Structure 1
Amino acid sequence: MHADRIRQLIDTKTKPLGALGQLEDLAVQIALIQQTETPALLHPHVLVFAADHGLAAEGVSAYPSHITHGMVHNFMAGGAAINVFCRQNGLNLLVCDVGVNGSFDTQAGTPGASTLVKYKIRAGSRNMNLEPAMTPDECEAALDAGKTMVNGVRYRNCNVVGFGEMGIGNTSSAALLMHRFTGLPLVDCVGRGTGLDDAGLAHKQAVLRSVADRYADLTDPLAILAAMGGLEIAAMVGGLLQAAEEQMVILIDGFIATAALLVARTINPDLDRFCVFCHESDEAGHRLMLDYLNVQPLLRLRMRLGEGTGCALAYPLLQAAVGMLNEMASMDSLQA
């Protein structure tokens, strides 16, 4: 299957050449991923990985760590934005606890709630300003959790999967990973996260500079991930690698998910072609990430929530692109 063949099919549709813009590019990408002229999106899932961060003790977030635990309860009850958007657009939602500092009761079965999958590795990562966030074994276990989650939905005949996260303090990990894997100055990678004021942002930048200097000599991608990442970010890295291995359409959310991709693509350089970049986050640095990757997001809505919300909101555009390719008439079919 070659891109020129798909473009030829699209060019014969009842429209001017290129008139559907980015939707045409999206249709070509999905057709090439699935290696067919008639692609189909089956049983879409959003996987949200949740974990706490020891670095939150350094005051790098506007919210306390216990919010992570509360938000997972909110996912389970069906009350979060990602629940709403998945219900609205017909996506299945799974939440995976890989490192939340707290326990959860059995799923209550609330309509519209997410299913909670427990792969807890430890109750939050360590304070990376004092020691690596994860040991190599813990990082490997998080990678395996992500791979297992993707294998689980693939077994259900899912061929399109989105990645989201929840973890107070995780914009700090993402900024550090962005800095290391793009080479961009740290100050350009650090944003306000959940809403830091100017003083809070300056403090966050100082803490992250200390962390970056501590691990400046690391070169192995997984060693960098273990030192400065988070359990949920490592799980996304594993999930991304497995989804590419399964040749699935991959939905990339915002700042945190893209940071996970920066790590994963050093392990599998072919990963990018499977990825649909759903939106441009309002978090400082995400536009620079997208520029570094030379990609155009589908949406620009000034969002910075995470949770996979960009994936759920962009999914109807994938449906439109596939529908256009499969169902739109050709010029040859028009009556003279």
Structure 2
Amino acid sequence: MSDPIPSADPLDDLRALIRGAPGPDRGAVAAARARDAELTKPAGSLGRLEEIVEWLAAWQGRTPPAIHHPLVAVFAANHGVAERGVSAYPASVTKQMVANFAAGGAAINQICIAEDISLKVFELALDVPTPDITVADAFDRTGFVATVAFGMEAISGGIDLLCLGEMGIANTTVAAAVHYALYGGSAEDWVGRGTGVDDEGLARKRAAVEAAVARLDGERDGLEVLRHVGGREIAAMAGAILAARHQRIPVIVDGYVTTAAAAALHAIDPHAIDHCLFSHLSVEPGHRRVLERLGVKPLLDLGLRLGEGTGAALAAGIVKSAVRIHAGMATFSSAGVSERGVH
């Protein structure tokens, strides 16, 4: 059989990859559930930890699931809209923070050390911000697809759990525009203070999001929304989520900005993010709204709003504990414990 002829529109090829992604391994889920029933504890007593094990088994396609090579992947980019005063920090801070990551001085470095997780930072043309989304598209079609493809290629190397993070001054503005475009309402519903803007900065931020989304004229296709008002880090994270699905790698999503990448895929196919665990509830007011739209429940609520993958890495520690419990805990028969005695 000959290879299929590529679509004239490269975004159609991406849509086909999204809609053609493999589903869960239900046999692995059944096996995980059967083992859980034999462990020395009352049924259901570990709550979401038991659900996490089934989720991992479903998307790794093995029982017991295992985590040997987890990775936090942080994608960093700059945005032309930053020039509109929508952030408390200048765009130069993105590059400075990338250098801080490399030096081991950021919060995410410390969490990765504590949780024994590898960290990679991917810079996306920091010296060439995407255009100001209030007046121009973030990408042309070729550039958008290339950025998604970069994210897809970034997760090679045998990892078995992917934690996504980001860095980019003004990217909460961009994420708010993505969510507003996808779900409607008003800019106020989706725009928060991000890095800590004052009231005047918040007003500028809302105005920028309003102007950016007005250019879309009602467009709600997830990929087109990202192409028009997204950013390089968000497009790359969407690619990473998609590639992880095809490689059977479970994904932990970080906060508000990272969720924008997942939301764009979900808009194409609601099952496209079934392999994703949402790590935490950000204090950005729009985050709760988008998680509700996606029908997902975050694992943690710690008042985080830093980004960098910090929430995802913390959640990965819990996931690793769930896997360890499932694999290492004794069964009733091996421990000589009466089942009736623990129920």
Whether TM-score is above 0.5 comes out as yes
2:98 to 72, 92, 101: 72
Indicate which of 6, 26, 49 corresponds to 1:23.
49
Structural mapping, 1:1-336, within 5 Å: 1=27, 3-101=29-127, 123-150=128-155, 152=156, 156-332=157-333, 333-335=335-337
Distance apart, 1:225 and its partner CA: 0.9
Shift of 1:285: 1.0
Look up the equivalent residue of 1:86 and give its one-letter code: C
Q: Offset at 1:13?
A: 1.7
* Cα drift, residue 189 of structure 1: 1.0
Preserved CA contact (<8 Å) 1:98 1:145: no
Unaligned runs of 5+ in 1: 102-122
- How far apart, in 1, do the equivalents of 2:273 and 2:239 lie? 15
Instruction: Determine the C-alpha separation between the residues in 2 that align with 1:300 and 1:219.
Output: 29
Q: Could you tell me how far 1:231 is from its partner in structure 2?
A: 0.9
Distance across 1 between alignment mates of 2:220 and 2:271: 21
Displacement, 1:82?
A: 0.9
CA distance in 1, matches of 2:28, 2:115: 30
Report % sequence identity: 39
State the secondary structure of the residue aligned to 1:270.
Answer: coil
Aligned partners of 1:49 and 1:235 also within 8 Å: yes
Paired residues of 1:51 and 1:124 also in contact (CA < 8 A) = yes
In the alignment of these two chains, the number of paired residues is: 311
Measure the CA separation in 2 of the matches of 1:6 and 1:148.
31
| C-alpha separation in 2, matches of 1:184 and 1:36 | 42
Give, in angstroms, the shift of residue 220 of structure 1: 3.7
Deviations 1:168-224 (A, max 9, x none): 000011111112223343321111110012232122112211211122243443222
SS at match of 1:251: strand
Quick one: distance in 2 between partners of 1:273 and 1:222? Answer: 18
User: In the TM superposition, what is the alpha-carbon distance from 1:335 to its structure 2 partner?
Assistant: 4.2
Counterpart Cα distance in 1 of 2:115 and 2:285: 28
> 3-state SS of the aligned residue for 1:297?
coil
Q: 1:217 to 1:267 in 2, by over 3 A?
A: closer
Q: Distance in 1 between matches of 2:151 and 2:319?
A: 23
Q: Equivalents in 2 of 1:34, 1:144: separation in Å?
A: 22
How far 1:2 sits from its partner (Å)? Answer: 5.8
Indicate how the Cα distance of structure 1 residues 273 and 220 shifts in structure 2: closer, same or farther if over 3 A, else same: closer
Deviation at 1:131, TM superposition (A): 1.0
Cα RMSD (Å): 1.6
1:74-94 CA distance string (max 9 Å, x none): 111111111111112111111
Aligned-partner residue type, residue 175 of structure 1: A
User: Given the two structures, how large is their TM-score scaled by the length of structure 2?
Assistant: 0.86
**1-side partners of 2:265 and 2:172: how far apart?**
17
Contact 1:39 1:322 in 2 (8 A): yes
Cα pair 2:266 2:273 within 8 Å, conserved? yes
Q: Which residue of 1 aligns with 2:9?
A: none
Q: Distance in 2 between matches of 1:189 and 1:244?
A: 28
Q: Which moved more, 1:218-227 or 1:32-41?
A: 218-227
Structure 1 residues 24 and 167, CA, compared in 2 at 3 Å: closer, same or farther?
same
In 2, Cα distance between equivalents of 1:2 and 1:94:
30
CA distance in 2, matches of 1:300, 1:330: 33
Shift of 1:334: 2.6
